[in-house]
Amino acid sequence: MRVLVQRSKESKVLVAKKEVGKIKMGLVLLVGFMQGDDESVIDKMVHKVINLRIFDDEAGVMNKSVLDVGGSILSISQFTLYADTKKGNRPSYIKALNGEEAVKLYDLFNQKLKEKVPTKTGCFGASMEVFITNDGPITIMLEVNNT
């Protein structure tokens, strides 16, 4: 499982020009699953995301988590995180988990996030427009394997 984390001042996601999710200050997560991922990766990634210390403390040091600052999360499904570009110019997505299995993991991931932090989502499998005001900019790739 891979999650690209972006610290955000505000962000929103549209599907068919309709807003389906919006947050103020917090994290935008681009979430992808690979073949072999299962429920065992979810708790590890939720813990990592909500405790990631990338918000400034009183001294201006990145020392606070989204929990500490009372932020929100916008979670967006993103199978292209597993693009393989080693051959040619057209990415291959063969390592990405199939949609039927990935949507189950994505829904579980978001459910567990919502238990800890206010969380909004995009629509799995939909064509989305994502508007991110990246704060910093701060962008970090997280990866958790089930091994």
Which residues form the catalytic set? Answer: 78-80
Residue 31 · residue 3 · CB < 8 Å? yes
Residue 64 · residue 57 · CB < 8 Å? yes
SS3 category, 143? strand
Give the span between the Cα atoms of 100 and 112, in whole angstroms.
19
User: Which residues, 6+ apart, have CB-to-CB distance to 141 below 8 Å?
Assistant: 2, 3, 4, 5
Q: Quick count: other Cβ atoms within 10 Å of Cβ 77?
A: 26
Give the span between the Cα atoms of 38 and 134, in whole angstroms.
30
